[in-house]
Structure 1
Amino acid sequence: MAAVQIFKSSRLFPATKPNPLLCLPHFSSAPSDQTPPEPNPLIPSVVSILTNLRSKSRWGYLRSLYPSGFTPTDFSQIALQIKNNPHLVLRFFQWTQNHNNPLCSHNLLSFSTTIHILARSRLKSQAYSLIRDAIRVSEPLQVFEALVKTYRQCGSAPFVFDYLIRACLESKKIDPALQIVRMLLSRGINPGLNTCNSLIRCVMQARGAWAGYEIYREVFGLDGGVRVARARPNVQTFNELMLGFYQDGAVEMVEEIWDQMPEFGCCADVYSYSILMETYCEDEKMSNAEELWEEMRGKGVEPDAVAYNTMIGGFCRVGEIEMAEEFFKQMGLSGIESSGAACEHLVRGYCKIGKIDEAMLVYKDMLRKDFRAESLTVDELIRGLCGESRVLEALEVMRAAMIDYGFCPREKSYEFLIGGLCEQGKLEEALKLQAQMVGKGFKPNSEIYSAFISGYMKEGNKEVAELLRNEMLDTQVCGIAD
């Protein structure tokens, strides 16, 4: 039965047609519809060589005896005979692949047998690697069906399907992952909680928070108001949901998800608090954020660097720099080293209220600690310095940042610097900077033209100023025409 056909019926596994999945744990047992293969004398011979000869001699001996190699069925039967030695099974699998003339054209049968043997022995990374290889050459649903058919005879465990789901998610194959999860849930097999959380996260990232929320309700059996006896969400589940809705700007849903946690006996952790506090901070509801902070401390949840950064950033955003400084101080007293994010919040906060000297002190401290400032932070610092007519200092900040860590100035930074240089009559420096600006892909705009026109007028060079004015008008007309 083709894997795709499994999904065409609302009843996945009709009672009249035994399905290989019925052999999985928690499914009612059903007799196998497969006829046992005829005994193959090759199998015990190869098993004996693999188990009795030393590793240095066994491979050459096998190649000399069986130059034509093995069929996938032969390989699977051999592997099952030595399944209690999973490392040997893996070496045998790799040996049949690693020659210029492969000794086995592996298919989904041999892949799935090897995967099960590795999984049952908790060789997780090796099993996961083979699953990734399998879905590169076959459809995930076909891999799933092959794993189902070989499940019982390999003595595997349900978590092997978690590996398959995660491999699908890693490969951005979200729809097959969803179908596999639904098939397992329909027969009472719950994917691992971490797998469910990964599925929700991937759906939210690819299709938005609401799509992820629908999958959350489906996976945990919350649809229709009837809670099916399935795995229960944990705090990481709710964190994924809150983060997704926060990133989508759905503030009311962040609070709603927060309120759902107690229903499942989940206690918010420091990351949960940080997400909700950040939601309040972004909306400049600092009193709400402070109340949440006090609640967190009252419940014995110790804040981490993310929580401190959230509050520091929130207070800087609303210009309450003294409160930001207090949290920064508490952060140090708590033994948490200041991060680049906290310093950047302070730099922008000081610039916001016009305390440029304090902003420069924090910025220089950042550089001493080898923190790299984001473009927005450097741009704000340049703007603040230019606003105080400290243009040469601002220019030095920009040049040093470009050299030290590849800072890429935005158009506004060039505007501030060129405007300041022209204002101070430093037209030569302004022209050099304008040439650099063009080299970075920015075209002169009306602000740049106006700065140069004003500069040349102050210098008494009305002729050049008039030429620039006409050029600006021509440029604007061409821009409209384009």
Structure 2
Amino acid sequence: MAIRSQTRPHRPLPSLSLFPSFSSSPEVPSISGDGEGEGTADDTLVSAAVSILRSHRSRSRWNFLKSILPSSGISPSESSSIILQLRNNPHLALRFFLWTRDCSLCNHTLSSYSTIIHILARSRLRSAALSLLRSVIRSNPNTPASSLLQTLALTYRPCDSAPFVFDLLIQAYLHSHNLDPALSVLRSLRSRSIHPLTSTANSLLRAAAKLRGSTATLSLYRELVETFRPNSQTFNTLLLSLYRDGRTELNGEILREMDRFECRPNAFTYSIQMAGCSDVAEARRLWEEMAEKGIKHDTTAYNTLIKDYCEAGEVEKGEELYREMVMEGLEATGTTSELLIKGHCRAGNVEAAMLVYEEMKRKGLGPEAEVVDEMLDEMCEKGMVDEGLRVLRGEIGRKDGVVMGSRRRSYKAVIKGFCEAGRMKEAMKLQAEMAGKWMEADAGVYEAFVRGYEKAGQFEMAEKLRKEMGQLQLGEEDC
């Protein structure tokens, strides 16, 4: 990957000298976009407000405070001054800020928002500071990232803030699914020798992997590697990105990077590698290597190898792993059962798939719709149409958010089963139910009825349906 040796980064305290382009801009945009300035603070009003907030009981302070405020409310500058004097009581400062905002008592600007964000950051109230940053970004989609960074820099020293406040700004953009502004902030900070925390760098890499793919993720890693200390999570993100893009041939380079930074692989590192193996023997080798290195197999690792065995047609070995997993005290997940159901169905052993399915139901777990559909296809193919209908009815009645009645494929599988069995009345009844759920019959349903009527010797009805199908020009739809 052509990455030079890493130097340990430092995180100097920012000062205005680090942001020379910012010092020439004393005013910042208004949150409301009205373009008004900050205004000047009324020292008497600020002192009175602080006194009330500090001395009055919680229930009375807000009404009393409101009674002394001008009818037009307070300026952002006055709000910031009050918040600064409450810096040693950050929870009260936050309550005051939210009260003025929610009661429309202050038309807050980026600067007044930055003040409370810094006060929260210096007190390590990360989630509250992050929430306010996200609120600013959400409310001001057209405000450039440079304006937010500039305002945070200008208000940093007066608030005696903490360096990770700039990491929070990056995280806020990532939470809003805005990778480009986050990268813009990162690069602006790095040009001033302010480097990201490892957790922030990892968040950036995850976002790049999700939004841009493995090429962009590797490029970002090369850009960042000299400025933060990578950990196992960093390299797992790179491996996962390569796996999703089908580029597992580059895994060796990532593993060498792990060795260079003395990062010990964990169970997830091995699970990703096993998932990308071209054959189950290689996956098993990695499984055994985990044990040799003293890395305990977790649920994800078990599920990964079970999946490999099931896809290789070795479902019995998948079942053995499942029993071993239970013996180890690990709780099987819905994914474990779904893998076994699909494995048994593909091996043609629908009875075994049904046993796993029924065990899932006893545990209160609900399989994904596609898993049930695959099982219904196999059941009806084997002539177990009554059992298939019971499964369909049970899934329609589920209360966990997965409503099978909205899926055409599920109905179609059982209808085809009834038609193959020559039970046309039951097939017609189920098709009417399907139509009642606003699911029109596709070519597959028509063809099932045509074959069914032909088997029953009702050629006139079969021909009628064939003509109707041609007139409607139906095609086989994806289910």
Q: What is the TM-score normalised by the length of structure 1?
A: 0.84
User: Which whole-Å CA distance do the structure 1 matches of 2:147 and 2:22 have between them?
Assistant: 22
Which residue is equivalent to 2:111?
Answer: 109
Could you tell me how far 1:363 is from its partner in structure 2?
Answer: 1.2
Q: Do residues 380 (structure 1) and 367 (structure 2) align? A: no
Which residue is equivalent to 1:336?
Answer: 330
Preserved contact between residue 42 and residue 78 of structure 2 (Cα < 8 Å)? no
Which residue is equivalent to 1:187?
Answer: 192
User: Which whole-Å CA distance do the structure 1 matches of 2:111 and 2:118 have between them?
Assistant: 11
Preserved contact between residue 404 and residue 410 of structure 2 (Cα < 8 Å)? no
75, 83, 86: which one aligns with 2:87: 83
Q: How does 1:77-476 map to 2 (within 5 A)?
A: 77-99=81-103, 102-138=104-140, 139=143, 140-220=145-225, 228=226, 230-280=227-277, 283=278, 285-405=279-399, 406-408=403-405, 411-440=408-437, 442-476=439-473
Preserved contact between residue 255 and residue 276 of structure 1 (Cα < 8 Å)? no
Preserved contact between residue 22 and residue 30 of structure 1 (Cα < 8 Å)? no
Could you tell me how far 1:28 is from its partner in structure 2?
Answer: 10
Change (3 A) 1:466 1:178: same
Matched AA of 2:375: L
Change (3 A) 1:326 1:393: same
Could you tell me how far 1:332 is from its partner in structure 2?
Answer: 0.9
User: Which whole-Å CA distance do the structure 1 matches of 2:16 and 2:189 have between them?
Assistant: 13
Q: Do residues 67 (structure 1) and 43 (structure 2) align? A: no
Could you tell me how far 1:287 is from its partner in structure 2?
Answer: 0.7
Matched AA of 1:432: K
Q: What's the CA shift string for 1:353-372, capped at 9, x where partnerless?
A: 22222221111111111110
Which residue is equivalent to 1:225?
Answer: none
Q: What's the CA shift string for 1:105-138, capped at 9, x where partnerless?
A: 2212211111111110112222222222222334
Could you tell me how far 1:193 is from its partner in structure 2?
Answer: 1.2
* 369-378 or 61-70, which deviates more: 61-70
Preserved contact between residue 380 and residue 417 of structure 2 (Cα < 8 Å)? yes
Preserved contact between residue 67 and residue 103 of structure 1 (Cα < 8 Å)? no
Matched AA of 1:103: L
Matched AA of 1:130: L
Preserved contact between residue 235 and residue 267 of structure 1 (Cα < 8 Å)? yes
Identity of aligned residues (%): 44
Matched AA of 1:319: G
Q: What is the TM-score normalised by the length of structure 2?
A: 0.84
Preserved contact between residue 83 and residue 116 of structure 2 (Cα < 8 Å)? yes
User: Which whole-Å CA distance do the structure 2 matches of 1:56 and 1:452 have between them?
Assistant: 73
Change (3 A) 1:449 1:110: closer
Could you tell me how far 1:233 is from its partner in structure 2?
Answer: 1.3
User: Which whole-Å CA distance do the structure 2 matches of 1:457 and 1:78 have between them?
Assistant: 85
Preserved contact between residue 213 and residue 241 of structure 1 (Cα < 8 Å)? yes
Matched AA of 2:457: G
User: Which whole-Å CA distance do the structure 1 matches of 2:41 and 2:186 have between them?
Assistant: 36
7, 14, 23: which one aligns with 2:16: 23
User: Which whole-Å CA distance do the structure 2 matches of 1:416 and 1:374 have between them?
Assistant: 16
Higher-helix-fraction structure: 1
Which residue is equivalent to 2:30?
Answer: none
Preserved contact between residue 418 and residue 430 of structure 1 (Cα < 8 Å)? yes
> Aligned with 1:404: secondary structure?
coil
* Superposition CA RMSD, Å: 2.9
The higher relative CO (CA closer than 8 Å, separation ≥ 6) is in: 2
Matched AA of 2:109: N
Preserved contact between residue 389 and residue 420 of structure 1 (Cα < 8 Å)? yes
User: Which whole-Å CA distance do the structure 1 matches of 2:126 and 2:307 have between them?
Assistant: 41
Which residue is equivalent to 1:223?
Answer: none
User: Which whole-Å CA distance do the structure 1 matches of 2:41 and 2:397 have between them?
Assistant: 72
Matched AA of 1:234: N
User: Which whole-Å CA distance do the structure 2 matches of 1:171 and 1:143 have between them?
Assistant: 15
User: Which whole-Å CA distance do the structure 1 matches of 2:460 and 2:312 have between them?
Assistant: 47
Gap runs ≥5 in structure 2: 1-12, 28-39
Q: What's the CA shift string for 1:199-246, capped at 9, x where partnerless?
A: 1211222222222222222122xxxxxxx3x21211111112222222
Preserved contact between residue 414 and residue 437 of structure 1 (Cα < 8 Å)? yes
Aligned length: 444
User: Which whole-Å CA distance do the structure 2 matches of 1:454 and 1:137 have between them?
Assistant: 60
> Aligned with 2:259: secondary structure?
helix
Q: What's the CA shift string for 1:35-61, capped at 9, x where partnerless?
A: 9x8994444444444434444454444
Preserved contact between residue 236 and residue 269 of structure 2 (Cα < 8 Å)? yes
* 45-54 or 144-153, which deviates more: 45-54
Gap runs ≥5 in structure 1: 1-19, 221-227
